[in-house]
Amino acid sequence: MNNKTQFVFMSDGLFEHLTETEAYIFSFVAYFACDAAKGKIFKRTTASLCKNLGYSSNTVRYAIESLINKSFLLRDTPPTRERKNLKYNYIEEVSHHLKIGSHEYAIKFSDWLSIMLDQLRKGTSKEFYKSHPAEISFFKVYVTALQAKSKTENWKRNQSRHLHKALALHGYLFNKGYWSEKHFNSHFSRSVSFLSAVFQWSPNTIRRLINTLKSLGLIKYKIDSRRILFQKVNMVEKMRHGYKQLISQLTSTHIKSTLPTLNKHISLSALQRPAPNAPPEEHAAFLAKMKAHQRV
C-alpha cells in the first residue's frame, strides 16, 4: 500500500455545511472513522494530515477544532494502557483520536461511505444499488496532486487554498464526465450558477477555478447558451506547481447564445449609464444591455 493517501471521497452536499478545508479534513478522517474494520476511529498525527492533504499544521489543527464545534467530529479519549517500552508509544500519544460527530449530515455521509466501501470490497455494488438507491453521491478527489515530493517543497506564491478548491471541483467534474461518457456516451454541461450553488463559492471563484483547470490542461470546454459544455476532463497528476494568474472571464472558441446581442461595433464603454436618480426601469434596461455584452 502506498504510504500516502491517493484520494479522498467527497460529496456535493458536503459543501453546504463545510468550507473546502474542513471538507478535505473531514473526508480524510471519515474514511477511517466510518469503517468498523478500523474500529470506527481515526488515529493519525497532525503531520500525517499535512503530508497527505497538503496543508500546514496550523491549518489542520484549526480545521479539526472547527469540525468539532460543528459536531461533524468528536474527540475521543484513548483508553488508558499500561505503558510499554515500544517505539510507537509517542505516535500513539500525539495522534488525534477522532470519531464521527452527531451532525445529521456527518452521520449520513459516514453511513453511506461505509456502505459504499463495504460493497466495493465485496464486489456487489451493482446489485446493491439496484435495490438501494444511494442518498449521497460520492466523487474522488485525487489529493496526490497536492502532496509535496520533499520536505523542502513549498507552495508557489501562497496558492494553497485556490488549488485545493480547484482539485475538489476537478474531482466533481471528472466523476460527472466519467458517468456521462459511460452511460450516455455524451458530454455534460453545467452553468456557473449551478456549480456556485453546489460548492457554495461565488460565481467569480467558479470561473477562476475553471480557467485554472483549463490552464493546467485538465479540462476542455466551450460555452453554449450560458452553460459550460465540458468536452474533456483529464486525470490529474500534479497541481502543486501552481498557476500563473487568476482569470474571471470564461471564453471558448465556439460561443452560442440565445440572448439578444448589441451591435458589435458598439463598445461596452459607449453604453450610457442612467443617472443615479433615474427610474428603476432605466437601470434595469441598462443592466440587460451590459449583460448582453458579457459571456458566462
Q: Where exactly are the structural domains of the chain?
A: 1-141, 145-258, 266-293
Q: In angstroms, rounded to a whole number, what is the distance separating the alpha carbons of residues 114 and 34?
A: 6
For 88-130, the pLDDT digits (tens) are 555 556 788 999 999 999 999 999 999 999 998 888 888 888 8
Report which of residues 180 and 260 the model is more confident about.
180
Residue 62's pLDDT is: 96
Lowest mean pLDDT among 47-51, 238-242, 246-250: 238-242
Comparing C-alpha atoms, which of 33, 41, 43, 36 is closest to residue 8? 33
165 bridge partner residues? none
Indicate the length of the chain as a whole number: 296
Are 20 and 165 a contacting pair, CB within 8 Å? Answer: yes
Q: What angle do CA 184, 187, 188 make, to 5 degrees?
A: 95
- What mean pLDDT comes out for the span 126-146? 89
Report which of residues 124 and 21 the model is more confident about.
21
* Model confidence at 257: pLDDT above 50: no
Please give the single-letter amino acid code of residue 55: Y
Average pLDDT across the chain, whole number: 83
Lowest mean pLDDT among 10-19, 123-132, 135-144, 209-218: 123-132
CATH number of 1-141: 1.10.10.10
Alpha helices (runs of H) in 134-202, residue ranges in sequence order: 160-179, 192-199
* Model confidence at 78: pLDDT above 80: no
91: cell is: 505516535
200: cell is: 457554495
* Model confidence at 259: pLDDT above 50: no
Do 1-141 and 145-258 show the same overall fold?
Answer: yes
Alpha-carbon dihedral sign for residues 94, 158, 145, 252: positive
**Fold for domain 145-258?**
Arc Repressor Mutant, subunit A (1.10.10)
Q: In angstroms, rounded to a whole number, what is the distance separating the alpha carbons of residues 293 and 208?
A: 19
